[in-house]
Structure 1
Amino acid sequence: MSRFETRPAPSVLLVGDARMAFPVARALDKAGAQVFAGVSVSSNYLEWSRHLAGSFRHPPLEPGTDEALPVILDWLDQRGGVTAIQPVSEAGSRLMSRHRSAFQARGRLIMPEAVTVAACMDKTGLFRLCERLGVALAPFRRVTGLAEARAAARALGFPVIVKPSVVDAELFGRKALIVPDEPRLAALMPAWPEIHPELIVQRYVTGPRHSVIFTADRGRLLGAVEIRAARTHEHDGTGYTTYGVTVAPTPRVREGVERLVRALDYSSTGCAQFVVDPRSGDLTFMEINPRVSLARIAEHAGLPHSVWGLELALGRRIAGWTDPWSARTDVRYVWTKGDLNLMMKRFADGAVGPVEAARKLARIGLDAATCVHAIFDPLDPAPAIGVYANRWIKRYRDHAEYDPAWARTRFPEAFEAAAPLRDAA
């Protein structure tokens, strides 16, 4: 049954190619909304999802570029607009923030207010806010040059982590640099990365990343779920989560999220991240992503934040949960392709031998059979087929006359096998 009683049904455009788009599209479609998406060569074959009412192609949403903007706006204008527009990636969020007025003129925005987004994207400023609020935070320094970075690392004491502050771009090919000592700092960061006007050097806290997926309304927490990342797509624990599990809220994490949400007067969906050392109990705040994140596992844990995000954008009041932290625990999530890519890279580099590689493959296979998946859905198998068959079909998706329906003729057995499941749904 549709959750939305209005006619016509609300329509939503998803902006961004991240894996987070899949569960958002599914949840909104099942709630009765029409879901559309702009896609590029980085889309993970989102355009093949049965939960989309339509899609169009645009240039990649690379950090700091606006090449996709006129294509997206033209699609909105040609269609006559949509009810709401939602970023589902970091690049999508930044694009919409840079051109907020243009998007607002064409639909409601499923994202926090402009001042909240700006505060979350300014990591130095957010760290200062954590200090004022008493949110757990490892000592840090803001630096704007190489000599300053090296001096900050020495002052804080190794190991440290070096990460971007205001620009959404990689740092020497990584999201962040974990630096054990001064010689390693010189090797990892031989020069100042010109794309970054400033960086953050922070004392490194050992432990897994804990992500809190939440929805809030004007500073009031509606619902939240804490997810511990047991594995990521980088061997040092940085990068994107490839295996995670929902856990009971860590007291100081819970306290920190509630203080930040209240102080920011946060409305919409978001993701707050901490690092928690399971042995010492030491922890530190990392960041808040002012957008949907890890939606697949959050939805399976009972948090309907994709639908809540749309309802908040439409101006509706959401009662939320009596206990905002009552999501289901021990729900497990896996991004199998990320696990496989890391294992193969480590094996090729000689860091993992044949015996250990076989053991890791067995673990990856078991997790793939028993966990919630980032992309794969037996009721919507086409995108996962595209991802794993990409090396053979990429030439088609890059072709000017590429037709997504081609997959149904190229892989008829997979679609036939999934037909009973789709019909039952």
Structure 2
Amino acid sequence: MLSKTKKSKIFVLDTNVILHDHTCIYQFQDNDIILPITVLEELDKFKRGNDLINFQAREFTRVLDEIVGDDIFNGGKSLGVGKGRIRIETGKPFSDELKASFREDIPDHRILAIADFTAKTYPRRKTVLISKDINLRMKAKSLGIQAEDYKTDQVTDENVLDKTITTFDNFDDRLIDQLYQQGSFAKADVKDFTPDANECYIFRGNQSSALARYDSKSERIYRVEKKSAYGIKPRNAEQTFSLNMLMDPEVRLIALTGKAGTGKTLLALAAAIEQHRQYEQILLARPIVALSNRDLGYLPGDASEKINPYMQPLFDNLAVIKHTFNPRSNEYQLIEEMVKEEKLNITPLAYIRGRSLSNAFFIIDEAQNLTPHEIKTIITRAGEGTKMVFTGDLWQIDSPYLDMKSNGLAYMVDRMRNQELFAHINLVKGERSYLAELASNLL
């Protein structure tokens, strides 16, 4: 039986919520949770595999088994002190309205039938369907069933995501001169100045200008010089700041966001190779998001040949760096040797899970397609001496159940803000070509 407190709600969970966060059942405070039996059927299809989504399905099954134990489950079980109860609801008949609206007997419609049945069975309590599927939420609302997105790990301050480099016009020329002569000045020298850790600025005075960055440990503003990394030269202020962070051993976690062509992955890879002596291995990875619902099994060839098309953008960035040098040069040969000896390794992200990464420079591309839990899983792999760089475009999300506020990259930027070992640069200006920049802005 569900608890009878009038104020508490009843939440009906969709499968995609569990695949997004296997701990979701503990995030609803003292409200009750109904798990449609259809969800268990769908989870069973996801249990096998090496992707992070398969891990979520397996972990939730284990969590549910720990809650239930050897008891009969049809009466529901408590989720703990201060929490509600969870129960599995078996299939329910479609109402006349459901039959008239949806002729197909598919999992989504069975979940709707259970949500509809629950709302009518407990009319004095609020029943809410929780789903990451926008279309299912629209279907529910059209039937008079309240539906919401899973909001526990969504970004609370959207301004953090598209924040650009702050420019100070009419800045004190004396402080700019001090940056050039002494390299820094105290935060207290600027009135009403409350910067975040590792925040970057452009100071423009009447006679000069400077790029600068705030160091929260010393509470001082330091000048940022324009430096190249393994043949790659920064073309604008954002790229200059990015390379400065990437080359700083004190900054262990970096987020580089921005549209296609802004140089995120290229800068990260160039900085990694430039510092190859400081790290035992350079790893580049990206999540595999298949197109048109066709997974790797549809592609011809062995495992390596199936994966290569998804990893090609990373190989392309590596080729750009290599071609800045003569094929006979030491720099070119170094990259060849690192790849051959697997000191520079390009791999799917799923192959990283479970490993402990010590003294590695780890670049995760297309991180906007990861869930918050996946981001956390990856970062917790970091061992001593490891630096992690997440790159991605928050406007180009390929997962059907993630958006700008709920994806893992945005979640990390929001939660890690103002930490001494974290830095976030949002690159705005495209540098790939004028054509690419025009297409990114207009199409």
Q: Normalising to structure 1: TM-score of the pair?
A: 0.30
Q: Normalising to structure 2: TM-score of the pair?
A: 0.29
Larger Rg, first or second structure (1 or 2)? 2
